[in-house]
Amino acid sequence: METIRLDGRVLAGHIQHQLRTEVMNLPHKPHLAVVVVGENPASTLYINMKTKAADIVGIQTSVHTLPAQITTQEIIAFVENLNHDSLIDGILVQLPLPKNIDTNMVIEAIDPKKDADGLTSKNQGGLMTGYPTLLPCTPLGCLRLIQQAKADLGGLNAVVVGRSRLVGRPMAQLLLNENCTVAQAHSYTKNLADLCSRADILVSATGVRGLIKREFVKPGAIVIDVGISKTEEGQIAGDVDSGVWGVAGWLTPVPGGVGPMTVAMLMSNMVNIVKNKS
């Protein structure tokens, strides 16, 4: 079987082009504030991707780098100042934060109306209840990729491997909202291969390199690889083993699959924030 490559770069490019037109018709240019704590090469790379995409779309960005030794309360105070700044439309705290920081407390400090990443409990609660809200960027990007393969997902069996607040849990809810029958797998799940092999849609977001083997995948399934890890040679790899090519009907590459779509959905959230103000 020939596996179709779900290219996130191509789709993200189309979305950013559409968003650029929308930004030109907004009452003002959206302004995204990015908060970074400490020096992390991976975070720097992701921030550069986001600011480059923002330039393309026409969104203003300001990057605020805070010292690694900062406390949780000091970050919260900084975020609250951004909440009250009328010139700032959206706020993004770059994750992961240092281990000494309470990430949940920092996320909850963000004004839900400015929550560009869609991670506050109010916005995630809106996702759960069907209330219009800002959606988490990575799961939303995954859904858009899945819909490239099949527009109508109603009645399909979906398995989401991983249950994090950032990806796994909201991903399962998004698929449930699309009328899929959803199973959520995690580190305590028994017979993972058997569960996954019955999925029409398989999303893996664990960061465990090569976890999803050929026998985990139903022939013709849509497979979305969210995982990011590094090989011994320093190459970026995902959760899905290379042997899945030729079994899956559709598969996202790593890199070049979900990552660009996460950034595109961040830009989309920023446009929606300003639209909701109008």
Parallel, antiparallel or unpaired: strands 236-237 and 229-230: antiparallel
Radius of gyration from C-alpha coordinates of the chain = 19
The answer to whether 148 and 14 are in contact (CB under 8 A) is no
Q: Find the distance separating the first CA and the last CA of the chain, reported in whole Å.
A: 49
Tell me which residues are annotated as active site. Answer: 50, 94, 117
- In the block, tokens 């849609």 appear at 201
Six-digit token string for 160: 């989401």
**Rounded-to-10 torsion of CA 255, 256, 261, 262:** 20
Give me the helices (H) in the chain, please.
8-24, 41-57, 72-83, 103-109, 121-129, 137-149, 168-177, 192-196, 258-277
